Amino acid sequence: MSGGTGLDKGKGSTDHTDYYKAYIARIGKEKIPCYEPTLGDQELEFLSDVIRRNWLSESKYVREFESRLAKLCQRKFAMAFFNCTSAMIAGMKALGIGQCDEVIVPSFSHPADPNSIAAIGATPIFADVDEKTLCLSVDTIDAVKTSKTKGILLVSLYGNAPEMTSIVNYAKENNLFLIHDCAAAFCSMYKGNPLTAYGDFSTLSFFVDKTITTGEGGMLLADDLNFINECNMYKHDGRRERGVDFIERRGYNFRMTELQAAVGVAQLDRLEHFITRKKEALKEYKKKLSGIPKVNVFKFSSESEIVPHRVLIFVPDAMRLIAHLTSLGIGVRTTFMPMHSQPCYNVKNVFPVTEKLYTTGVCLPSAPTLTQADIDFICSSIREFYEKGDKK
């Protein structure tokens, strides 16, 4: 899920089980989770069908999931992967990006974005974002572009739309590949077109906190058949398909399971309900939090029809508010910690907008299961914090 609580610094015991136990203990105290999936009888029915068929690798549900996603995303082809990261890795390798190449990526992003670039041997070049969109802009891209730049990894963060037309034109004018991470932007639209329709290829995630979920899972979307065939080899261990022994690429096993896809197909049947509930929650938060001087509810793009991945607010000191709400059992999170400052990259550049968004941003609970009572409690807790508790 996006961000953390901001309450841990990654220090202490090196035993990963200690971190896991602390994480489970922390979220176990949440009365209102940051997010939770909505699963039901149809998911059980389709899972039972897969088990009865006794074929758990890719089969009819994966093909149906791909077909329906291609149509919804207005792409000619959709290819299922076991997560969004693997889809980005396969896609960038199929484009020929690799050693000595640079790919521009926002520092304000999920670690999967720079990590996927590094995984193919290329160098992630971090850029700042536009404060109004939370995404890259032509100006922030151009500020870090070099002669080695091969591509732009554009992230439609939290479901929002950047200024797509200018970025697409910039990529074409500079002969750069445009990779579009739409992990959190499924069904968001830009000027009447799905955000997923933009880029040499785009990707989706179906992690548990996304609009629809398969537990883990991802999708690569594109329009070029030759490119898709190349991606398929990187997905299938370097061969053109299962059952083929001739290994043409040094590939991977990036396949989705039939079990995952069965859940995904069932989720698609309730897609409109999920979208409606997420939009309704954002509307309620805006109404309930209005008039609090220190709270700014993020305004998603007015040019677009956005399905919000998270409800975001910006406040003077995010950590203080997060600590307070966490103590009440409210599952809030920070926004993404700037990737350029993470220990594995440790880039010394200064990106003022990215750093400001991290220190002031708070992700509020935003699951379709939120009740009116939940939202009322969260908003009243925030209001009371600023009216009574926080004098800074």
Whether 62 shows a pLDDT value over 60: the answer reads yes
Q: Report the pLDDT value the prediction gives residue 183, as an integer from 0 to 100.
A: 98
| Distance of alpha carbon 153 from alpha carbon 112, whole angstroms | 11
First-to-last C-alpha distance (Å) of the chain? 30
To the nearest whole number, what is the mean pLDDT of the chain?
94
Chain centre distance of CA 228: 22
Q: Report the pLDDT value the prediction gives residue 3, as an integer from 0 to 100.
A: 62
Reported as a pLDDT band with limits 50, 70 and 90, residue 243 is confident
Q: Report the pLDDT value the prediction gives residue 1, as an integer from 0 to 100.
A: 46
Q: What's the average model confidence in pLDDT over 351-371? A: 97
The domain limits of the chain are 16-35+272-389, 41-268
In the sheet with 201-205, reading across from the earlier edge strand, the strands are 77-81, 218-222, 201-205, 177-181, 149-155, 102-106, 123-127
The pTM of the full predicted model, rounded to 2 decimals, is 0.93
Q: What is the pLDDT of residues 21-30, one digit of tens each?
A: 888 888 888 8
Backbone phi, psi, residue 153, to 5°: -100, 100
Reported as a pLDDT band with limits 50, 70 and 90, residue 38 is very high
DSSP 32: B
Q: What is the pLDDT of residues 141-181, one digit of tens each?
A: 999 999 999 999 999 999 999 999 999 999 999 999 999 99
Q: What is the pLDDT of residues 131-144, one digit of tens each?
A: 999 999 999 999 99
Class of domain 41-268: alpha beta
Backbone phi, psi, residue 136, to 5°: -60, 155
Reduced to 3 states (helix: H, G, I; strand: E, B; else coil), residue 125 is strand
Q: What is the pLDDT of residues 214-231, one digit of tens each?
A: 999 999 999 999 999 999
| Distance of alpha carbon 94 from alpha carbon 249, whole angstroms | 10
Helix (H) or strand (E) holding 21, with range, is helix 16-28
| Distance of alpha carbon 242 from alpha carbon 240, whole angstroms | 7
| Distance of alpha carbon 277 from alpha carbon 265, whole angstroms | 19
Among 3.20.20.10, 3.90.930.12, 3.90.1150.10, 3.60.15.10, name the CATH number for the domain at 16-35+272-389.
3.90.1150.10
Place of tokens 């908003």: 379
| DSSP per position, 325-380 | HHHTTB--EE-PPPGGGSTTT------HHHHHHHHHEEEEP--TT--HHHHHHHHH
Q: Report the pLDDT value the prediction gives residue 83, as an integer from 0 to 100.
A: 97
